[in-house]
Structure 1
Amino acid sequence: MIDFHCHLDLYPDPQQMMKDARLRDVYVLSVTTTPSAFKGTAALASDAPRVRTALGLHPQLAHERKGELQLFDELLSATRYVGEVGLDGGPEFKKHWHDQLSVFNRILGACAKAGGRILSIHSRRAAKPVLDALEKYPDAGIPVLHWFSGTQRELRRASDMGCWFSVGPAMLAGDKGRSLVSEMPVDRILTETDGPFAQVDGLAACPWDVDRAVETLSLLWKRPRPDTEERLATNLKSLVEAKSVANVAQASAVR
């Protein structure tokens, strides 16, 4: 099982959640919302070989935490993964749009300068400006659009640009989400939960709840469950071995 976007540090008991994910053999990309949370979150995964920690600065916090950009730059060499980053066009965050753009562009520029990273990107109500920014920084790395909710036209543009997508049970529960996923390149899809923010059956989604997403993908792709699991595993292998991020330091990387 693969959970490519999960906030492990934000569960009520992060250590227990980490242990449970490890016992269930879930591959997890543990995204962070601020640079100051990175080291503590990475420490949770110190003995979990299938958990990776991403360095993030969430767009909803950009106006409050833009002062941590220097820390972001200092930590960037410690990981191959960046997230959660991006833009949020929700009305409650529009007044901070300038800060969001400034932070996101700064992050993309830093990633490009560092040789590229795998990026887990937030684009709620902001698909076009996110894609515009990615076009400005083609060397920033490989964008993985988390819980993409744009239009079909924006999806085609993202696909043509080479973007990847992570999709979860909450996204796949709705008609729009399933319609979008049906049009995504099968070889550029990974599963996620966005736990603990997303819910499954009224409870915070756990990493192993990606099982629900795998089931839905099997139906959408009209494939047996084992074939779907194999496709997702192949996708993950392809992503992490992509040449555009091959120069990222690994020997000294913090997971």
Structure 2
Amino acid sequence: MKPKYIDIHGHVNFAAYDADREEVIKRAQEAGVAMITVGTQLDTSRAALELARAHEGMYAAVGLHPIHTGKSHHDVQELGEGGKEFTSRGEAADLDAYKPLAMDPKTVAIGECGLDYYRLDPGSASRQVAEFEKMIDLANDVDKPLMLHIRNGSGRSAYKDAFEIIRSRAKVRGNLHFFAGSIEEAQPYLDLGFTFSFTGVVTFTHDYDEIVGYLPVDRIMSETDCPFVSPAPFRGKRNEPRNVIETVKALAKLKGVSEGDMAENISRTSASMFRI
């Protein structure tokens, strides 16, 4: 059965699912949800691809998250060596290691990568730029779209800075995951043919109503960013891919279309962007 929905950005490769990963994937499949599992550094990128290879309707994105270019990030839900809690080593992307992953037919995007200014330490911005440029070069090399993580902070617009890098360097399109920018910040990316994905936050806050209303329906995609940001009515619980259905329902209401039409539009946009 062809999936009706798609979660274009989740992390079932993270340690948060070690106890019941296969059950989570099965629930998504039974609900008609395809999914893209996203790497954040080399270990989780490898894990994402392994899962994609093993499951129908599952794909991978491989890349280096900007916060993992420094040594300050720690997360109990990510995948560390030997199943331990993950602490960033301050990874510098080894493209010789990433390229075979990127070339795999089950890999449909490069990322998540980009700029994160929310927690900037001295030297972080320059490291992030250098690693982002490497990810863009990899995407150009394998001709696959970018899965972008962009977050403003420290009084700076990461969206504007990332756009300048993309405009001068990228030969591919991409998607802005968990978009939280303004219409002004979105427009240059729209002009380049990029898409925008939204999480379960659209089910419980009106902060995204204006931008979702502004964007063309064929530039909008759905994601969970699981295990984070569960939608209503699952707030406070670990998120999972099948919950993307709640996000699709909310996006449909904001766009004034039926749930079925919204799901179909998202599937069509995803198929075009990720060639799936």
- What are the superposed Cα offsets for residues 37-95 of structure 1, whole Å, 9 maximum, x if unpaired? 33333222333221001112111001311154442234322233212111101134564
Verify the 8 A CA contact 1:190 1:235 in the aligned structure 2. Answer: yes
Which of 204, 213, 219 aligns to 2:247? It is 213
Verify the 8 A CA contact 1:55 1:72 in the aligned structure 2. Answer: yes
Counterpart-to-counterpart distance in 2, 1:172 and 1:93: 33
1:90 aligns with 2:118: yes
Amino acid paired to 2:136: L
Determine the structure 2 residue equivalent to 1:151.
182
Q: Write out aligned runs for 1:4-153 (5 A).
A: 4-10=8-14, 11-13=16-18, 14-63=21-70, 64-78=90-104, 79-93=107-121, 95-114=123-142, 116-125=143-152, 126-139=158-171, 141-153=172-184
Cα separation, partners in 2 of 1:94 and 1:240, compared to 1, 3 Å: same
- What are the superposed Cα offsets for residues 140-172 of structure 1, whole Å, 9 maximum, x if unpaired? x22100011122211112111211111111245
Deviation at 1:24, TM superposition (A): 2.4
Cα separation, partners in 2 of 1:238 and 1:175, compared to 1, 3 Å: same
The percent of aligned pairs where both chains have the same amino acid is 25
* RMSD of aligned residue pairs (Cα, Å): 2.0
Counterpart-to-counterpart distance in 2, 1:225 and 1:76: 33
Q: Secondary structure of 1:120's partner?
A: strand
Amino acid paired to 2:32: D
Deviation at 1:110, TM superposition (A): 2.2
Verify the 8 A CA contact 1:36 1:71 in the aligned structure 2. Answer: no
Counterpart-to-counterpart distance in 2, 1:136 and 1:93: 26
Which of 247, 250, 256 aligns to 1:222? It is 256
Q: Write out aligned runs for 1:211-250 (5 A).
A: 211-241=245-275
Verify the 8 A CA contact 1:4 1:191 in the aligned structure 2. Answer: yes
Q: Any stretches of 5+ residues in structure 2 without a counterpart?
A: 71-89, 153-157
Cα separation, partners in 2 of 1:136 and 1:42, compared to 1, 3 Å: same
Q: Secondary structure of 1:49's partner?
A: coil
Structure showing greater relative contact order (alpha-carbon pairs closer than 8 Å, 6 or more residues apart): 1
Following TM superposition, the consecutive aligned residue runs of length 4 or more in structure 1 with deviations greater than 6 angstroms are none
Cα separation, partners in 2 of 1:23 and 1:110, compared to 1, 3 Å: same
Counterpart-to-counterpart distance in 2, 1:117 and 1:29: 14
Cα separation, partners in 2 of 1:237 and 1:110, compared to 1, 3 Å: closer
TM-score (norm 1): 0.86
Q: Any stretches of 5+ residues in structure 1 without a counterpart?
A: 243-255
Give the total of aligned pairs: 240
Verify the 8 A CA contact 2:226 2:240 in the aligned structure 1. Answer: yes
Counterpart-to-counterpart distance in 2, 1:57 and 1:87: 11
Counterpart-to-counterpart distance in 2, 1:76 and 1:51: 15
Verify the 8 A CA contact 2:41 2:64 in the aligned structure 1. Answer: yes
Higher helix share: 1
Amino acid paired to 1:158: Y
TM-score (norm 2): 0.80
Counterpart-to-counterpart distance in 2, 1:67 and 1:137: 17
